Amino acid sequence: MSTTTVHHHHQSEGNYSKLTTDRVGLWLFLLSESMLFLGLLSARFYLAGTFRPPELNQALGVGITSILLVSSLTMFRSEVAIRHGDQSSFLRHLLITIVLSILFLGGVAYEWSQAFTHFSPNTVFGTIFFSMTGMHALHVLSGIFLMLLIYRNGRSGKYSEHNHWSVEATAKYWHMVDVVWVFFYAALYLV
Amino acid sequence: MTTEDKKGEKSEWGTGWKVFAALVVLSALEIAVTLTIANPLPFLTPLVLAKAGLIIWYFMRLGNLADKEATE
Inter-residue contact A102 to A144 (CB < 8 Å): yes
Q: Do B60 and A24 touch (CB under 8 A)?
A: no
Task: Please list every residue in chain A whose beta carbon sits closer than 8 Å to the beta carbon of residue B69.
Answer: 83
Angle at A34 between CA A32 and CA A35, to 5 degrees: 65
Give the span between the Cα atoms of B14 and B25, in whole angstroms. Answer: 17
Q: Do B65 and A23 touch (CB under 8 A)?
A: yes
Give the span between the Cα atoms of A97 and A74, in whole angstroms. Answer: 6
pLDDT tens digits for chain A (191 residues)? Answer: 444 444 444 444 555 688 888 899 999 999 999 999 999 999 999 999 989 888 888 999 999 999 999 999 999 999 999 999 999 999 999 999 999 999 999 999 999 998 888 888 889 999 999 999 999 999 999 999 999 999 999 999 999 998 999 999 999 999 999 999 999 999 999 98
Asked if residue A26 is part of any domain, the answer here is no
What residues make up the domain containing A126?
36-190
Asked if residue A100 is part of any domain, the answer here is yes
Give the span between the Cα atoms of A111 and A67, in whole angstroms. Answer: 14
Q: Do A72 and B12 touch (CB under 8 A)?
A: no
Q: Do A176 and B60 touch (CB under 8 A)?
A: yes
Return phi, psi of residue B66, to 5°: -100, 15
What pLDDT is attached to residue A102?
Answer: 97
This prediction has a pTM of: 0.89
Rounded to the nearest angstrom, the minimum Cα separation between A166 and chain B is 8
Is the dihedral angle over the CA atoms A28, A33, A34, A38 positive or is it negative? positive
Q: Which of B10, B44, B59 to mutate to probe the A interface, most A CBs <10 Å?
A: B59
Asked if residue A131 is part of any domain, the answer here is yes
How many distinct structural domains can be found in chain A?
A: 1
Minimum Cα–Cα distance from B38: chain A residue:
A191
Phi-psi region of A157 (alpha: psi -120 to 50; beta: other; left: phi over 0): left
Tell me which residues of chain B have a C-beta less than 8 Å from any C-beta of chain A. 1, 5-6, 8-9, 12-13, 16-17, 19-20, 23-24, 27, 30-31, 33-34, 39-41, 44, 47-48, 51-52, 55-56, 58-62, 65-72
ipTM for the whole predicted complex goes beyond 0.90:
no
Asked if residue A25 is part of any domain, the answer here is no
Give the span between the Cα atoms of A97 and A101, in whole angstroms. Answer: 6
Give the span between the Cα atoms of A102 and A151, in whole angstroms. Answer: 15
CATH number at residue A141: 1.20.120.80
